[in-house]
Every structure is written in structure tokens, then in C-alpha cells.
Structure 1
Amino acid sequence: MNCKPSFAIIGAGKVGSAIGVLLKERGYAPVGVYSRSKTSARRLADQLHSKLYKNAVDAAKAADLVFITTTDREIGTTAAIIARKGGCKPGQIVIHTSGALASDVMEPVREQGAWAVSVHPLQSFASIESAKENLPGSSFALEGDEQALPLAEKMVKDLQGRYFIIKAADKPLYHAAAVIASNYLVSLMHLSASIYRQLGLDEEQARDALFPLIQGTLNNIAKVGPAQALTGPVARGDASTVKGHISALSRMNWRTQEVYRSLGLYTVGLALENGSITTNEGAALSNIFLEVENCEQKGNYCRLSAHETGSQTNSHVNRLRLSDGYVGRCFWYRRHPGWGFPR
């Protein structure tokens, strides 16, 4: 006897399709599929051996669990249509899988007595097949009605995942961190490969050269954590090498140069955190990354917090507050052509 709830998928994209297939394998009962794309909806309905519906409302009516796995911009509208046309009922659980949006976007279903919860898999999905492979073992961020959380937790465990619960107000910050870790890692890989292509390597050669380095770095992070896994010129306080990099990168576009400088500044803070460089070395490196020309500067002032530099925040009249908690002397910044910072 199957004691697990029935479910419907509304939005047969990569995430919705992967979740649907995996839940069916775990004993959940698929009862319906709807998607704007008839092709993807038919494909998923055939995989699940479930009914293909012509609208989201009828698909939702048939299920205990309703997954709205559309694009983020369509989640609120879809939930409102389902609620307005009688597609949800008391005790039913409506789930979206957006990382950026809280469950509040589905408020209309709550007004009809259903419970709303967001279940976001902290994973990247390049295809339906990769989504099915990557979901088991992934972490899920849960947020929503307390009545719905126990079942959401059980569902994640059935998917062989782990979970943590966050507040609705924290969803944007949570998602920003995920974007940095995943999307921006892809951008960094693309940037590194593009530099190697300047040296004559083709895309495949660049990727093959860089991937073992990336994999080794990930292995180190897994073993000792990001702070202790840091290596390279910043971790050694090697200002000369950093200057050489900046000089070489000056031949490339300003975006590449800005990425290198911004990440370098952040890495200075990481090197200070793990104790691999001194405060003076951190200050010197920060000034290099900031391209700072000091006016009558006798000390090492930079974009470091007061406790990192050891200076007093109000000890000199000629201080410039750079951001909350950060102070320094007056600096001249070398601007980009056209007298302005890049947009």
C-alpha cells in the first residue's frame, strides 16, 4: 500500500521533470502534468505514466502536492490562477522551487486554505539528465508554512538530499550566495579560458588545462575549508607577482581587469583571516589592487577595517570613509578613459 502523497507537476522544465521522475521512483504517485510547452509536458507525462492536463487548475485539483516549477516570473501568476479558479483546497501543499523567491509569492493559495512552501535544491541543472544525477546528495533550502515543513523534510530525505530551513526575508541573500558559488564559478572558468586563448590555446585545450587545477582546489576546500585552502601570490604576500599580473592584464578589456582587482581585494581579507600575511602586507596588496596613489601618506592605509589596520578611526582629520567601518587617507584613483568608473 502506498502511503506517500500524490503530486502534480506544473512546468515541465529541467527541475520539474527531474523532481517528478525521482519522486515517482521513491514511491510518490504522479497524477498530472501541465506545461505551456506541449512537447515537454507530453514527454514528462509519458515518463511518469500520468495524465496530461490542458490547464494548471485541473492538474492541481488532482494532487496532494502541487509543484509549480515554472520560471520565477510565472510562479505568482500561476498560483493566483490556481487559487482563483478553485484548484487548491485546505490541507493541500503547494510548492515552488525558486531560489530567489519566498513562499509569500504564493499567498493566494494560502487564502484558500492550502499551505505554501519553497523547496529549493542547491544545485545546478544543465539538463534533465544532469538534474536527475545531481539532485541526490544535494542540499535543499526550505521556507514556508510550518504545517508543510515536515512533509517537505521527508520528501527531501526521500530524494536522498539534506535540508536546512531559512526565513523568507533571507531568500535573496541565500540565493546571492548560491549564484556566486555556481554561476560566477562558470564565469571565472570562462574568463580564465579566454585568457589562455590569448596565448594560442583553443577552447578545449584551455578547459583541459584548467579543469584539474579547479578540481584540485575543490578537493582542498572540501578537506580543510576555503580559508586554509588559499594558495597563490596574495596568500604569500607576493606584491611583485600581483603587480606583474596587473601589468599584463592591462592589455585586456577593463572588465577582466576589474574582476581581477575586485577578487584580489576580497582575497586579501581571506589571507588576513587565515594569518598567512601580516597587516602591513595586506595594506600594501590592497593599495596595489586599488591602484592607489597616496597623498602625503606615511602609513599603510587601505580599504581594510580599522581593527585589521590597527589604526583609530578618528585619529586624523584627513580620513576618507570608503564604506561602513572602513577608513583611509585621501586617495587618487586612476579612472578609466572618459573620466568615470566603468558601468
Structure 2
Amino acid sequence: MNRKPSFAIIGAGKVGSALGVLLKERGYLPVAVYSRTLSSARRLADQLQTRVVHHPAEAAGAAELVFITTTDREIGSTAALIARKGGCRPGQIIIHTSGALASDILAPVRQQGAWAVSVHPLQAFASLESAKENLPGSCFALEGDEQALDRVIELVNDLRGRYFVIKPEDKPLYHAAAVVASNYLVSLIHLSASIYQELGLDEEQAMDALFPLIQGTINNIARSGPAGALTGPVARGDGATLRGHMKALRKMDWRTREAYRSLGLYTVGVAMENGSLTPNEGAALSNIFLEVDNRDQKSNYSRLPAHETGRHPHSHVNRLRLSDGYVGRCFRYRRNPGGGLPR
């Protein structure tokens, strides 16, 4: 059996701690922990049965794999400090876990011959326990030096994860999509619950009522994809119901009304994509959300489906490799040659 690499954690928060614990369980050798907060470093070092060091360069210098799991604003300065103090060397892999930043932020260690990679787990980390539970099976976005990618892919497989590879310039769009799927989903459910609270339900009652619907919708998306799972008044072309919604929402906070309006306009595009609405029907519904009286007027907010724009949908899916008996495909992301994201 091949020996797993040694690793160091720089930044003992939820992500760094979860990665450290899981990697140790998979046979990787922890050699050092550094964190700005000494108590956090000691807590993780105790779990990993390794030592606490008092400088990030000391932690990096001891390991083959170095995980910088600090806040985003500290990654660049940490990399610069490691490079300046001689904590990196040729053949070593320095990894950061930011979703928004590309591996370019690690330029100082590259200049010293180390390889730089960003490895972002596409997962929400509410606590250390949930992070350890949710990381296996999650998808990881990889970006960085090609010489290091095989080793990093092996690491992701050891974590029982999936992965796709993206370009550095696409990191902001990648992260924006993740924010919509996770953070804005929280806001969306909060919005729905807040409307029910206007009816006299408390938050717990609202969530008890809504959660089966939310779970059922997620199940439908898993089976049919997001466009195929769409139901409701937009998908039915039910303008009368939508007008009633817009009228009723006038008594609520303007943010609630504007959120409903914006989501409705976007949902018209989804319904046109899946064939539920014709372009004229989509324009008419869009005008309800825009509060335009002429219902036959075309709206810029009516997104035409691919077959009506002359564009061809491109799948970005090539293959997905999973470890320990998982069967799937590994996604290799690419941009559409004609611009925009693959659908």
C-alpha cells in the first residue's frame, strides 16, 4: 500500500479541522497545525495527535501537502509569509480552500517552486460536526497547477468526493452559483416563512408546514432536473393567480415584493426553457411581474429557450470518478465557445 503524504493545516476553523480529521482517518499523516487562535490550534492538534507550531512557515515546512484554510483575506498574506520565511520548496503542494479566489493568490509560493492549487468543497459548513458529515460525497472544484492535479484528485477520491476542474478566470462565476444554491436558498426559505408569519404562524410552525414541500421539490429536482421539476402558476401560465400574488404582496416589505418579482421573471425563463410557455405567453407573464398593462408587449426579461436563439446547449459533463465503490461521472467544466456558461 502506497504511503499517503504528510500534511499541515494552517487555519484551524471548521473547514481546516474537518479536512484534517478526515484526512487522518484516510491514512494521511498530520505533522503540524498553526492557527491565529492558539486554543483552536491546540484543539485540532489534539484531535490529530500532532504538534502546534507558532508560525505558518514552520507548519508548511514540515509537510508535503499544506492546507491554507484561513479566511479569504488572509490567504495571500499567509502565502507570502510562508514563501518569505522559507516554508515552501519545489514539489510541495500548497492548497487553499477558498471558493471565490483562484490559485493565483498563492503566487509567492509558486515563485519558490511549490505547486499551487485551489480546492473548494462545494458544501456548507455550519459546524465542525456537519462539515465532517457532509464532506464525503461532496463535489470539489479544483483549479491550479496541472502537475499537482493528479495528487489532488487522489486526495478528493480518498475523501470519497467528486470533482470538476475549472479555469482561474471562472472562479467568481463558480462561486456566485454556489452562493445562489446555498446562501440564497436559506434566504429564499426565510422569505417564504416570513410570508407565512404574516398569517399568524410563528417561525417553527411555518417551517413545519413548508419543509415537506421543500423536501419534495428537492427530490423532484434530483429526479427531473431544475427545469423539469418546475410546477406552479408560472409553469401553468396562470396570470390571474400571479396578479393576485403581486396585489397581496403590496402590503409587505418592499424587499419581499421585489424578491418575488425578480424570481418570477427568472422563473418565466425556466418555464420557456422546459416548453411550458410559448414566447408570447412568457412575455405576458413577464409583464405581470413588471406591472406592464399591455400584455402582448415583448419583454427583455423573457428568456428564449436554446432552440429559439440558435444556440445549442452544451453539456460540461465528461466523467465523475468516485472512490470506494461509488459509480458516477467526473465533471470537467468548460465555458461555452460562444460565451456564457454551459447548460
TM-score normalised to structure 1 length: 0.87
Q: Name the counterpart of 1:127.
A: 127
Corresponding letter in the other structure for 2:241: T
Q: Does 1:214 align with 2:214?
A: yes
Q: Name the counterpart of 2:176.
A: 176
C-alpha separation in 2, matches of 1:171 and 1:88:
25
SS state of the match for residue 163, structure 1?
strand
Alignment of 1:130-169 (within 5 A): 130-169=130-169
Q: Name the counterpart of 2:326.
A: none
Q: Contact 2:272–2:304 at 8 Å: present in 1 too?
A: no
**CA-CA distance at 1:39 after TM superposition:** 1.5
Q: Name the counterpart of 1:186.
A: 186
SS state of the match for residue 251, structure 2?
coil
C-alpha separation in 1, matches of 2:191 and 2:172:
26
Q: Name the counterpart of 2:318.
A: none
Alignment of 1:257-268 (within 5 A): 257-268=257-268
Q: Contact 1:137–1:162 at 8 Å: present in 2 too?
A: yes
C-alpha separation in 2, matches of 1:305 and 1:273:
10
SS state of the match for residue 302, structure 1?
coil
Per-residue CA distance 1:225-264 (angstroms, 9 max, x = gap): 1111000000000000001111111001111111100010
Question: Size of the alignment, in residue pairs?
Answer: 307
C-alpha separation in 2, matches of 1:58 and 1:170:
33
SS state of the match for residue 292, structure 1?
coil
C-alpha separation in 2, matches of 1:226 and 1:205:
27
C-alpha separation in 2, matches of 1:305 and 1:275:
13
SS state of the match for residue 247, structure 1?
helix
TM-score normalised to structure 2 length: 0.87
Q: Percent same amino acid at aligned positions?
A: 75
C-alpha separation in 1, matches of 2:299 and 2:93:
52
Bigger drift between 299-308 and 231-240 goes to 299-308
CA RMSD between the two structures: 1.6
Q: Does 1:94 align with 2:94?
A: yes
Q: Name the counterpart of 1:64.
A: 64
Q: Contact 1:69–1:97 at 8 Å: present in 2 too?
A: yes
Q: Which one has more relative contact order, counting CA pairs under 8 Å at least 6 apart? A: 2
**CA-CA distance at 1:279 after TM superposition:** 2.2
Q: Over alpha carbons, which structure has the higher Rg?
A: 1
Q: Name the counterpart of 1:334.
A: none
Alignment of 1:238-249 (within 5 A): 238-249=238-249
**CA-CA distance at 1:55 after TM superposition:** 1.3
SS state of the match for residue 116, structure 1?
strand
**CA-CA distance at 1:293 after TM superposition:** 4.0
Please, which runs of 5 or more residues in structure 1 have no aligned partner? 312-343
C-alpha separation in 2, matches of 1:212 and 1:38:
43
Q: Name the counterpart of 2:112.
A: 112
Q: Contact 1:2–1:27 at 8 Å: present in 2 too?
A: no
SS state of the match for residue 189, structure 1?
helix
Q: Name the counterpart of 2:300.
A: 303
